[in-house]
Amino acid sequence: MIDAVLPDFLHTLPAGTRTPCHGRPELFVHPIRSTPTKAAVEEARALCAQCPIQAACADHAVRRGETDGIWGGLTPAERAAVARPRPACGTDAGWRSHVQRDESCLTCREAHDDRLREQRLERLAREHDEHGGSLVGYRLELLLGLPTCVRCRAVRQAYYAPRPSSGKWYRRAA
Ligand code: SF4
Ligand SMILES: [Zn+2]
Ligand SMILES: [Zn+2]
């Protein structure tokens, strides 16, 4: 944050209190075209974490679309991510946005599992249609918790069958 800028939320500070960023502009505002060091960002974050108005500061910067500096412990990229509309839960995009943020969401998790199951079922149907049975089909049946079918089991047994001449087990080329 810039010391010279006095947004409204600063007036909520108790009289005589200074924000932790006061007097440390070099940590919060970075010269144009210069990337702050990781250490500077972490130090700024640590100061913001002790600030009594951190939430209001971050909220102000997000609403104002501040593109520079650290505000409320957030970098410009983090503020942009907060400002971006979140995709709806239960969609693929919603699931991906949780993964990117390392969040857990039961709705998205279940929807993702349902989609994965659908895709596996479709692939299994293709394996049966195109090959009758296959190793991939066998693995999909296991993954889906289905009983393995006769055709896929037969392909697997043939694949792992012992070499007749040596009596040793070997893997044939798929
Ligand atoms: S949250 Fe950080 S940038 Fe905002 S006023 Fe407090 S110390 Fe300064
Ligand atoms: Zn969700
Ligand atoms: Zn099968």
The ligand with the least distance to the CA atom of 11 is 1
Contacts 24+ apart (CB under 8 A), 30-36: 30/68, 30/69, 36/70
Contacts of 112 (CB under 8 A, 6+ apart): 92, 95
Residues with CB under 6 A from ligand 1: 1, 19-21, 28, 47-48, 51, 53-54, 57, 70-72
Torsion sign, CA atoms 49, 51, 55, 57: negative
In the chain, domain spans: 8-83, 110-159
| DSSP code, position 37 | P
Total-model pTM: 0.54
**Percentage of the residues of the chain whose pLDDT score is greater than 70:** 88
For residue range 69-100, what is the model confidence (pLDDT) as tens digits? Answer: 899 999 999 999 888 888 999 999 999 989 98
d(CA 14, CA 52): 10
Residue 172's pLDDT is 58
Specify the 3-state DSSP secondary structure of 132: coil
The residue whose CA is least distant from atom 2 of ligand 1 is: 48
